[in-house]
Structures are given as structure tokens and as C-alpha cells.
Amino acid sequence: MHEMSLALEVCAIAERHVPRDQLANIIEVGLEVGDAAGVEADSLEFWLETLLTSPPFKAARPVIARVTGDVLRVSYLEVDDGRPDD
């Protein structure tokens, strides 16, 4: 259940950094999860997939990069701004 709490915090981070009216436009949430972070990455991914497809989000997907060390961080939030890719 530890990973569920982490997933809820990742969603809270997204809500703090993306305007409320744009939350449904988040398409990816990038995370770095270290092999010594004490996090079960597959479980975290499951919870994120569940939460990021529920309101206020719509269809965001987690992208987890497994790295060495004890790091656990949100590395990016990709939001569809409606403009063609640069």
C-alpha cells in the first residue's frame, strides 16, 4: 500500500504544477525510481495508471525510468497544449 500513497502524492504534485483546467490534458507523467528507493516500481505503475485515468485526469500514462540509487522523483509532466509538436 506504500506505493498507493506515493502515487497519490505524484498526482498531488501534478495538481500543484498544472492549472486545474489543464489536468485532463496531461498525457505523460515521467518518474525516476531508483533500485534502492524501497519502491516496488510495478506496483507504483499500477496505482498511477489507475489514478491518472480518473478525474480530474483523463488518460495520462506513467513513464517510469528505473535508475540506480535511492532516487524517487517526478522528472516531467507532459501536457497536450493543442499545438502541433515542435
Nearest partner of 39 among 81, 15, 17, 71, judged by Cα: 71
- Residue 82: per-residue pLDDT: 80
Q: Is residue 19 part of a domain?
A: yes
- Residue 58: per-residue pLDDT: 95
**How far, in Å, CA of 7 to CA of 48, rounded?**
5
Q: Could you list the residue range(s) of the whole structural domain that residue 69 is in?
A: 2-79
Domain at 16, CATH number: 3.30.2320.50
Q: Is residue 11 part of a domain?
A: yes
Is residue 14 over pLDDT 90? yes
Q: Is residue 84 part of a domain?
A: no
The count of structural domains within the chain is: 1
Q: Categorize the per-residue pLDDT at 20 as very low, low, confident or very high, splitting at 50, 70 and 90.
A: very high
Q: Is residue 63 part of a domain?
A: yes
- pTM for this one? 0.90
- Residue 84: per-residue pLDDT: 81
Q: Is residue 61 part of a domain?
A: yes
- Residue 50: per-residue pLDDT: 97
Long-range contacts of 47-54 (CB under 8 A, 24+ apart): 47/3, 47/4, 47/6, 47/7, 47/8, 48/7, 48/10, 48/11, 50/7, 51/7, 51/8, 51/11, 52/11, 52/26
